[in-house]
Amino acid sequence: MDLNAETRKLYSWIAQVLVQIGNLVLRLLWHLVHFAISIWYFALGIANKIESYLISSGLLKSYKALNAGKLKYLAIVVESEEAYQISKVIELLQWLTTIGVKNACLYDAEGVLKKSKEVILGKLSNATLFEEADKNDSLLDEKHITLEFASLSDGKEAVAKAANLLLAKYSKFTSFGGDQEEQTFTEAHLTEALGTIGCQGPEIDLLLVYGPERCHLGFPAWRLRYTEILHMGPLNSMSYGFLIKAIHKFTTVRQNYGK
C-alpha cells in the first residue's frame, strides 16, 4: 500500500513537472513569435519610411509620371477625433493640389471638417466649394481644387428624403391600383430618388481612410459602387510619398468595369 501511494505521488509530481515545462515552452514560443512579428513590423516601418522618402524626393522615377487626371473624384475619410487636427488636413489638401487632384470630398462622421470649412477654404487660395465651382474656371488653373464637405448626418438625411419621395410615389401609385410587381423598390429607384432631391453626388474613384479604423466610417454607400478604398494610417503619420504611391497605384491599375 505504501509503495503504491509513493508511486502515485511520484507519477503526480512528474505530471505536474511536465505540465509546467509544457506551459513554459508554450510561453517561450509565444514570446518568440511576438518578438519576430515585432521585428518584422519594425523593419517594414523603416522600409516604408525609406520608400516614402525616395518617392517624395523624386528618386524613384516610376512615380514621376503620375497621371492624376485619371482620378476624377477623391474622397478623404478622417476619423472624427483626428479631424480636429485642421492644420494636418490643410497640409494634406495642399499636397493634393501639388499632385494635381481636381476634386475632393472631405468626410468625417461627426461633421468636424464641415464645421471648419471656412477655416480650411481660407487657408487654401486655390480651392472652392464643389457646389459653387465653375467647371470651366477650374480648368484654367492647373493647381485648382474643388472641395466637398460631408458627414454622417448628410447620408442619413439623404436616405430619409429619398425614402419619403419613394413612399409618396408608392402611395400615389397604389391609390391608382398599380401592379404590385412594379411597386418593388430597386437600386435604380433609389438612385433616381437621390438624384431628384440633389443628394446623389459624384461617384468616388478612390477613398483614402486616415485613422485607426479600416472602414469608410459611414460614407454614403451609394457613391462607392466601384471605389478603391485604402487605409492610410493615422493622420499624424501621414506621408506625402505614400499619398503619391496610393494615387499612382490607382492610376496604373487596369479597371475592367464599364464606367
pLDDT digit string, tens, across residues 205-246: 999 999 988 888 889 888 888 899 999 999 998 999 999 999
Q: What is the pTM of this model?
A: 0.74
- Cell output for 3: 509503495
Least Cα distance to 238 among 131, 90, 19 occurs for 90
- Residue 100 region by backbone torsions, left for phi larger than 0, else alpha for psi between -120 and 50, else beta: left
| pLDDT, mean of residues 37-47 | 89
CA-wise closest residue to 63 among 233, 225, 217, 247:
247
> How many CB atoms neighbour CB 197 within 10 A?
14
Other CB atoms within a 10 A radius of the CB of residue 110 amount to 16
- For residue 244, what pLDDT is reported? 93
pLDDT of residue 214: 83
pLDDT of 259: 52
Do residues 77 and 216 lie in contact, with contact meaning Cβ atoms separated by under 8 Å? Answer: yes
In terms of Cα–Cα distance, which of 155, 230, 169, 232 is closest to 200? 155
Strands of the sheet containing 103-107, edge to edge, are 127-129, 145-150, 103-107, 74-78, 206-210, 228-233
Residues 223, 211: Cα–Cα separation, whole Å: 21
Separation CA 148–CA 104 (nearest Å): 6
pLDDT at 228: 92
3-state DSSP assignment of residue 132: helix
pLDDT in tens, 149-163: 998 877 667 666 666
Of 198 and 37, the structure prediction assigns the larger pLDDT to 37
